[in-house]
Amino acid sequence: MKALVLEKKQSLSMRDFPIEESVGPDEVRIQIKACGICGSDIHYYTHGAIGDFVVHEPMILGHEASGVITEIGLHVKDLKIGDRVCMEPGIPNPKSKESLSGNYNIDPEVKFWATPPIQGCLRENVVHPAMFCIKLLDNMSFSEGAMMEPLAIGLEAAKKARIEPGDNALVVGCGTIGIMVALSALAAGCSKVFISDVKQPKLDIAAGYPNLIPINTNKENLENAILQYTDGYGVNHIFEASGYAPVYPDFFRCACPGCNVILVGIPGEPVLIDVAFLQGRGISIETVFRYVNEFDKAVALVSAGKIDVKRLISKTFPFEKSVEAYEFAAANHPDVVKVMIEL
C-alpha cells in the first residue's frame, strides 16, 4: 500500500510498501484519515535513531492517527464498520507483569508504531487491536482525533500531579506536549498555569488560552517571574516538558514547599539535580512515560469543549505531500505547533 517511508536518515519517500496484515479475531482494520507529525518522527528522520532504537531498514513513520473502521474481527463487539476512531499506538503484552499491574505503558515488550522495528501508521490502512481503538464523538474531526495521542500525555502528567482545585502550576517548555500538559492541568483544576519558553511565537499561541500565562525566559528570569506572580511563594506543581537538559536544576527553585515535580520531557543527556534542595523544600518527583487509559478521557474533554486542540494545528498537508510536510516540520518554525497530514 502507499506509505510514507523513512528509507534512511534524512531520506523520505512516498511509495508502495510491501505490507500485508490480516484481521485477527480481536482486531479491526482502519482506513487512516489523519496523522500528526510528532517530534520523535522528526528525530528519526533527522538522526536515524532515538537512543537504542535505530532505523536499520526502511520504516513507515507516524503514530498519532485517526480513521474509519473498514473491517472487524470475529470477536469484536463494541466497534462496527464505519465507526470513527483514534488509536493508542502501543500494543503491550497483556500477560506481562507491567500490564497486569496496570502499568502497560512501561511494558518492555510493547510494540509501538514507528519505533524500530515496528512500522508506523502513515499509510492507507492499518490493523490494530480493537481494545486500543477509541470512538470519536460526532462533533470531533479526524484531525482532532489524531491529537488525542499528545493530549493523552498531558492528561497522564496531570494525573501524576494529583492537582487540587485552585492550585497553580508551571510548565517548562511550550511545544506541543508542553501546551497539552498546561491545558490538561487547567482541565484538572488549576486556576492558572504559567508556561515558559524562549520562542515568543509559541508563547503567543499559548497565551490565547484563558488562564495560561506565558513567560519568555530570553527576556526575564524564570524564578524571579514566578516568585513575582505568586507573591514570593512559588507554584504547587511543576511540569518539565522541554526535555532540554540545561534547564536543570534551576526550574526547581520555582517550587513552593511541598511542590510535586512531573518530568515529562526526556533529556538527551544526564542532568543535574540538587537533592539537598529538594529534600529541604519537601519536593517530590514523578516521571511520565506515555500514558495509561487516557484516550477516552481525552476524547470526552475535547468533545465537551473543555480542551481546544484545533488551534494547535498550525498547518495541514494532503497525504501525497507527506514528504513536504516532514520537511516543513523539520524546519522547526517558531510559530508552528502541530503539522497534520490528512488522507
Tens-place pLDDT, residues 135-163:
999 999 999 999 999 999 999 999 999 99
Q: What is the dihedral of CA 161, 175, 206, 87, to 10 degrees?
A: -70
Mean pLDDT (the chain) is 97
CB 264 within 8 A of CB 177: yes
Is residue 47 a contact partner of residue 9, using CB atoms and an 8 Å limit? Answer: yes
Between 52 and 336, name the one with better pLDDT: 336
Percent of the chain having pLDDT more than 90?
Answer: 98
**Residue 340: φ, ψ to 5°:** -115, 145
What is the pLDDT averaged over residues 185-209? 98
Residue 268: pLDDT above 90?
no
Q: Does 256 score more than 90 pLDDT? A: yes
The whole-number pLDDT of residue 73 equals 98
pLDDT in tens, 273-317: 999 999 999 999 999 999 999 999 999 999 999 999 999 999 999
What pLDDT does 61 receive? 98
Confidence bin at 88 (pLDDT 50/70/90): very high
Cell representation of residue 305 = 469543549
Rounded to an integer, what is the distance from CA 309 to the centroid of its chain?
Answer: 12
CA-nearest of 84, 82, 83, 44 to 63 is 44
| Distance, CA of 330 to chain centre | 17
Per residue, what are the HEC states of the chain? Answer: CEEEEEEECCEEEEEECCCCCCCCCCEEEEEEEEEECCHHHHHHHHHCEECCEECCCCEECCCEEEEEEEEECCCCCCCCCCCEEEECCEECCCCCHHHHCCCHHHCCCCEECCECCECCCCECEEEEEHHHEEECCCCCCHHHHHCHHHHHHHHHHHHHHCCCCCCEEEEECCCHHHHHHHHHHHHHCCCEEEEEECCHHHHHHHHCCCCEEEEECCCCCHHHHHHHHCCCCCEEEEEECCCCHHHCCHHHHHEEEEEEEEECCCCCCCCCCCHHHHHHHCCEEEECCCCCCCHHHHHHHHHCCCCCCHHHEEEEEEHHHHHHHHHHHHCCCCCCCEEEEEC
Query: What angle is formed at CA 338 by the lines to CA 150 and CA 107, rounded to 5 degrees?
Result: 25
Asked if 264 and 240 count as a contact pair (C-beta separation under 8 A), the reply is yes
Fold of the domain built from segment(s) 2-147+309-342: Quinone Oxidoreductase; Chain A, domain 1 (3.90.180)
Answer whether CATH 3.50.50.60 is correct for domain 154-287: no
| pLDDT tens, position by position, 91-126 | 999 999 999 999 999 999 999 999 999 999 999 999
**Is the model's pTM score more than 0.85?**
yes
Kindly state the cell numbers that stand for 72.
472487524
CA dihedral 196, 202, 204, 209 (to 10 degrees): -80
Lowest mean pLDDT: which of 31-40, 43-52, 150-159? 43-52
Instruction: Give the domain ranges of the chain.
Output: 2-147+309-342, 154-287
Give the number of other CB atoms < 10 A from CB of residue 198: 15
The CA distance from 173 to 192, in Å, is: 16
Measured CA to CA, the distance from residue 290 to residue 264 in angstroms comes to 9
pLDDT for the residue numbered 208: 96
Q: Using pLDDT thresholds of 50, 70 and 90, give the confidence band for residue 264.
A: very high
Res 51: pLDDT: 84
Cβ 173 vs Cβ 198: under 8 Å: no
CB burial string 74-102: b at 16+ within 10 A, e below: eebeebeeebbbbbbbbbbeeebebbeee
